[in-house]
């Protein structure tokens, strides 16, 4: 056998061996490792209950749910509806997930969002409740907050004067006025049309903006206030200083 023929045979064998090795390597690479999923798994998503603001005046069941939730906090007119974080709500033609809004609120405040993606029911401890006030033309944030605050103190059988938020005769803000000013920083204005956190309730299209109260947080603050000493509250534009209990 000539040397040229030997070289050709060796090259052919080497090429065949390389091709076989490559095929085996590719096949091995496609074999799923233990515990790996071999195909996509589609988990059914349970639709969220929808609280329909549009039906509030004519849906007896929704009225009963809203009344029960408001009574839990002693509210009447301060909010229109109370929505859980595992529900959606509808205003006008728009339906929005409360979880989606909550995530945007937390991102805006700098919180880290860590959703539990494991299957299973969400516990009641993980569910938050939010008071929703639907903004109408002519509303302003100050009067919206004052209505909420009045509801809160009515619950404690404390009557607040309609002028309680006005400055005293020396021009200094009243304690209620300071509470209202601080409240502007604790609530969220949400633009339903644009799907984003807003900063102003003015220049609105009807049923386009809402004011959102985190019920747990706002009541945790208000429950620490002794109205007899409300005028001793201090507010520096960022922090609200509440007198210690006596």
Mean pLDDT of the chain: 75
Q: What is the rounded distance in angstroms from the CA atom of residue 61 to the CA atom of residue 82?
A: 14
Look up residue 135 and give its two tokens.
Answer: 């903004």
Query: Which pLDDT band holds residue 59 (cuts at 50, 70, 90)?
Result: very high
Look up residue 161 and give its two tokens.
Answer: 């004067």
Q: Is the pLDDT of residue 77 over 70?
A: yes
In the chain, DSSP finds a helix count (H) and a strand count (E) of 6, 10
Look up residue 93 and give its two tokens.
Answer: 């033609």
E strands of 20-120, at which residues? 50-52, 81-84, 88-91, 94-97
Q: Is the pLDDT of residue 76 over 80?
A: yes
Q: Which of 108-117, 148-157, 228-237 has the highest mean pLDDT?
A: 148-157
Give the CA dihedral 174, 80, 68, 130, nearest 10 degrees: -70
Q: What is the rounded distance in angstroms from the CA atom of residue 212 to the CA atom of residue 131?
A: 6
- pLDDT at residue 157, rounded to an integer: 83
Contact 68, 128 (CB under 8 A): no
* Residue 34 backbone zone (phi > 0: left; psi -120 to 50: alpha; other: beta): beta
Task: Give pTM, 2 decimals.
Answer: 0.69
Domain boundaries, the chain: 50-241
Segment 84-99, tens digit of pLDDT? 999 999 999 999 999 9
Which residue blocks in 74-214 are alpha helix, DSSP H?
98-108, 141-155, 175-186
């Amino acid at each position: 056998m000539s040397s040229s023929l030997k070289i050709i045979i060796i090259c052919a064998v080497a090429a065949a061996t390389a091709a076989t090795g490559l095929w085996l390597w590719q096949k091995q690479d496609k074999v799923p490792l233990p515990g790996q999923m071999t195909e996509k798994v589609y988990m059914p998503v349970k639709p969220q209950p929808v609280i329909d603001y549009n039906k509030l005046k004519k849906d007896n069941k929704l009225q009963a749910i809203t009344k029960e939730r408001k009574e839990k906090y002693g509210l009447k007119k301060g909010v229109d509806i109370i929505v859980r974080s595992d529900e959606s709500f509808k205003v006008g033609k728009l339906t929005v997930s409360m979880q989606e809004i909550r995530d945007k609120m937390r991102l805006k405040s700098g919180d880290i969002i860590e959703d539990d993606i494991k299957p299973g029911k969400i516990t009641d401890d993980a569910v938050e409740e939010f008071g929703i006030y639907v903004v109408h033309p002519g509303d302003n944030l100050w009067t919206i907050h004052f209505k909420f605050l009045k509801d809160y103190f009515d619950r404690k059988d404390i009557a607040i004067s309609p002028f309680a938020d006005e400055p005293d005769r020396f021009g200094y803000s009243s304690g209620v006025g300071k509470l209202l000013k601080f409240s502007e920083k604790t609530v969220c204005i949400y633009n339903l049309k644009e799907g984003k956190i807003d900063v102003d309730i003015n220049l609105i299209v009807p049923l386009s903006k809402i004011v959102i109260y985190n019920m747990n947080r706002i009541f945790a603050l208000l429950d620490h206030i002794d109205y007899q000493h409300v005028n001793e509250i201090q507010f520096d534009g960022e922090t609200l200083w509440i007198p210690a209990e006596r």
